[in-house]
Amino acid sequence: MDYYIQTLPDDICKNSPYKRENGIVLTKIPYTQDFKPHTTTIASEALRGDKTSLRWLVENIGVDGGYYHDFTLPFHDFKAPWVGGLAQGLAISALVRASEHCKNPIYLEVAEKAFEGLKKHCYKSGWIYEYPGVKSILNGFIYALFGVLDLSNTGHKGAKRLYNRSFSTFIENLPSYDLGYWSRYSLMNDTPATKFYHQIHVDQLFALYRVSGHPMLMDYHFKFKEYMSRRFCYAKSKLVRLWGYMDTPLFTEDGLLKKYNKRRKWLKTNNVVSEDPHFMSKKGVPNENK
């Protein structure tokens, strides 16, 4: 299905560990050996045209419209089960597109239900929270905005109102994501985004400009893109990120070296990359075996 940008925030695009079970991608939960469904990755697969993933979105939505995750993540302080705005937005986008493509009203009904879940669990005062209590992650906010926009384009008045409010909040806060040499991942701290997410920011801003026409989006698209072309900017972003990791001693139980080795071992085990025969090309052409 045609989407705003090519890169999606799923395990496949990030080259993270995953496996398939009955046609569904299961995410490897950091830093464990457990593989579980993650709506972000499944909705990404549905956006690529995978019918099994689309069916999962229809069958696994909660009674209140939330896609509940029954695992925790080590990066933020929240407990399972939880509902996230990024996953809700991607699911809405996949379902709306399926409704338009297949002319099946069930997909739009589920998209509207997922929107209610987003409002209940992930929205507050113009912000769409990627994770519970975490409102300012830039890529997650924009992916969620795309989903709300897709639903609003079907004539859904509630989605239109929420999109307008959230878009205004986003524009108001966009300058705060500029570090002067790179983009922030979120407003929680001054840590620069990784190169992967910085490129997503560049692409998202251009896509959002195309649908909104707001000039500030194009300004920051070019500014962030210019940062990527400068070796000094990229090197500084990596050094600042490393310096942030140096807050803990090197050899303690939670130190930098232990964390590095723990992540390296976790990534190495059962890691499946884009050679997966089920993976679709970046142009969205389905694999013949799918």
Q: What is the pLDDT along the chain (290 residues), one digit of tens a residue?
A: 689 999 999 988 988 889 999 999 999 988 788 899 999 999 999 999 999 999 999 999 999 999 999 998 877 778 899 999 999 999 999 999 999 999 899 999 999 999 999 999 999 999 999 999 988 999 999 999 999 999 999 999 999 999 999 999 999 999 999 999 999 999 998 899 999 999 999 999 999 999 999 999 999 999 999 999 999 999 999 999 888 766 555 545 555 666 667 777 777 765 544 334 333 333 332 232 32
Closest by CA position to 118, among listed 159, 152, 59? 159
Closest by CA position to 100, among listed 150, 141, 50? 150
Q: Is residue 133 part of a domain?
A: yes
Domain of 135, CATH number, reads 1.50.10.20
Who's near 130: CB < 8 A, 6+ residues apart?
A: 84, 85, 86, 122, 137, 140, 141, 144
**Number of domains comprising the chain:** 1
> How far is 31 from 23, CA to CA, in rounded Å?
24
Closest by CA position to 19, among listed 281, 279, 289, 286? 279
Q: Is residue 19 part of a domain?
A: yes
Who's near 224: CB < 8 A, 6+ residues apart?
A: 178, 182, 183, 198, 201, 202, 205
The pTM of the full predicted model, rounded to 2 decimals, is 0.88
pLDDT of residue 204: 98
Q: Is residue 55 part of a domain?
A: yes
What's the number of CA atoms in the CB half-sphere (13 Å) around residue 284? 13
> How far is 159 from 111, CA to CA, in rounded Å?
11
Handedness of CA 48, 104, 57, 208 (dihedral sign): positive
Q: State both tokens at 185.
A: 């991942």
Q: Is residue 123 part of a domain?
A: yes
> How far is 71 from 27, CA to CA, in rounded Å?
11
> How far is 122 from 28, CA to CA, in rounded Å?
24
* Full domain range(s) for residue 85: 1-177
> How far is 2 from 14, CA to CA, in rounded Å?
20
Q: Is residue 224 part of a domain?
A: no
Q: Is residue 237 part of a domain?
A: no
E strand segments, 29-124: 35-37, 123-124
DSSP state at residue 189: S
Q: Is residue 91 part of a domain?
A: yes
**Cβ(115)–Cβ(170) below 8 Å:** no
Other C-beta atoms lying within 10 Å of the C-beta of residue 107: 22
**Cβ(117)–Cβ(65) below 8 Å:** yes
Who's near 275: CB < 8 A, 6+ residues apart?
A: none
Who's near 72: CB < 8 A, 6+ residues apart?
A: 78, 79, 80, 82
Q: Is residue 144 part of a domain?
A: yes
Q: State both tokens at 119.
A: 């409002």
